[in-house]
């Protein structure tokens, strides 16, 4: 079933730019992330990544960006956070003034311990969350260690924790829990949902089960030759408590897989 998020009435519409000129527009109001007719190809390459890409996700919550490898998920993520600027079409980021992007290969500087790094780089406004986050991410034992001394899973969690402690409206998590075991991953996602109900997340993953289970809206990015290139589906948005309805979950998973 195709699902589109309805636009909130007080969103300011932005004038659509001429073709092949990008517009990245932020506006006050409820959260909205919308792609309109985005076209993009890598500089110096003939390979087109996006052709008239359209789609939107709105409202706070744990959303997903899903798609096969090489389809352009990371490229879109970098467009969203402003690292890629030269594309044609329109990218609306209403209510998302502070967008952060994190990926699983990031490292902390090696000259200080994890604890020192978090202390130094956590804004005062988020200090009160630090202990809770460290504890729920299972990182208490890592605070005196150097980043390089941690396991890959601990490294992923540490990196994600430091981003969560920043001021942001939208956090794009590019395979941020790639090396974390399923149980811990579930705990972490549920904790994020619980701790940050008013923030938006765009979770990039290849795991159809976790995307279907935990995410509110799933932005499915398809291969370049398919039209439309993106389809937005509704996930099960599991927030804990009683187990998720297996049938519905399977249905959602099927929808996602079929959308590809």
Partner 1 sequence: MLYRRLYQFFMIYFLGLASLMAIKYGLQLSDYVIPGPPEIASTGLRVSGRYLLNVLNTLAVAILGHILAIVLATGIGIIGRLTAWIGSFIRVAAYNIQAYPIVAVAPIIFILLGDGLSSRLLIAAMICYFPLLLSFVGIFSEPVPEIEHFFESTRRMTWRLQIKIRAFENIHKLITVVVGSATLAMVGTIVAEFIAANAGIGYSIRIALYQSDLAKILVALFLIGICTSLYLVLLEWIGYRIRRRWAIPEGGLK
Q: What is d(CA 100, CA 166) in angstroms, rounded to the nearest whole number?
A: 9
Residue whose CB is less far from partner 1, 129 or 226: 129
Which residue's CB is nearer to partner 1, number 65 or number 81? Answer: 81
211 closest CA partner among 201, 222, 226: 201
Minimum separation from the CB atom of position 172 to partner 1 (A): 10
Which residue's CB is nearer to partner 1, number 49 or number 164?
164
CB closer to partner 1 out of 83 and 181: 83
Give least dist CB 113 to partner 1, A: 7
Whether the CB-CB separation of 170 and 31 falls below 8 Å is answered with yes
| Residue 92 vs 165, nearer CB to partner 1 | 165
Nearest approach, Cβ of 128 to partner 1 (angstroms)? 18
Query: Residues near 258 by Cβ (< 8 Å), separated by ≥ 6?
Result: none
- Identity of the residue, 100 or 249, whose beta carbon is nearer to partner 1 in the bound complex: 100
Residues near partner 1 (CB under 8 A) are 81, 100-103, 105-111, 113, 121, 141, 144-146, 149, 159, 162-163, 166
Kindly state the smallest distance separating residue 195's Cβ from partner 1, in Å: 19
Nearer to partner 1, 53 or 79 (CB): 79
Angle between helices 152-164 and 114-121 (to 10 degrees): 20
CB of 232 to partner 1, least distance (A): 25
Measured from the CB of residue 150, what is the shortest distance to partner 1 in angstroms? 10
CB of 125 to partner 1, least distance (A): 13
CB within 8 Å of 195: residues ≥ 6 apart: 129, 132, 133, 164
């Amino acid at each position: 079933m195709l699902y589109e998020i309805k636009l909130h009435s007080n969103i300011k519409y932005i004038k659509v730019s001429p073709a092949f000129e990008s517009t990245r527009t932020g506006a006050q109001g409820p959260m909205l992330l919308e792609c309109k007719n985005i076209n993009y190809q890598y500089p110096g390459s003939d390979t087109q990544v996006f052709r008239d890409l359209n789609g939107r996700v709105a409202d706070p919550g744990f959303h997903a960006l899903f798609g096969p490898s090489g389809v352009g998920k990371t490229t879109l993520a970098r467009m969203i956070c402003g690292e890629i600027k030269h594309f044609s079409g329109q990218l609306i980021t209403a209510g998302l003034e502070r967008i952060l992007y994190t990926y699983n290969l990031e490292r902390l500087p090696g000259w200080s311990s994890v604890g020192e790094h978090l202390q130094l780089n956590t804004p005062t406004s988020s200090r009160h969350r630090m202990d809770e986050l460290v504890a729920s991410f299972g990182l208490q034992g890592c605070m005196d260690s150097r980043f390089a001394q941690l396991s890959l899973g601990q490294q992923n969690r540490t990196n994600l924790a430091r981003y969560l402690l920043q001021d942001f409206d939208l956090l794009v998590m590019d395979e941020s829990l790639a090396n974390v075991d399923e149980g811990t991953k579930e705990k972490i996602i549920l904790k994020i949902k619980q701790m940050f109900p008013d923030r938006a997340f765009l979770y990039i993953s290849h795991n159809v089960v976790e995307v279907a289970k935990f995410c509110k809206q799933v932005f499915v990015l398809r291969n370049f030759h398919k039209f439309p290139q993106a389809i937005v589906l509704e996930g099960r948005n599991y927030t804990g408590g009683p187990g998720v309805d297996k049938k519905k979950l399977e249905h959602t998973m099927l929808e996602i897989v079929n959308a590809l």
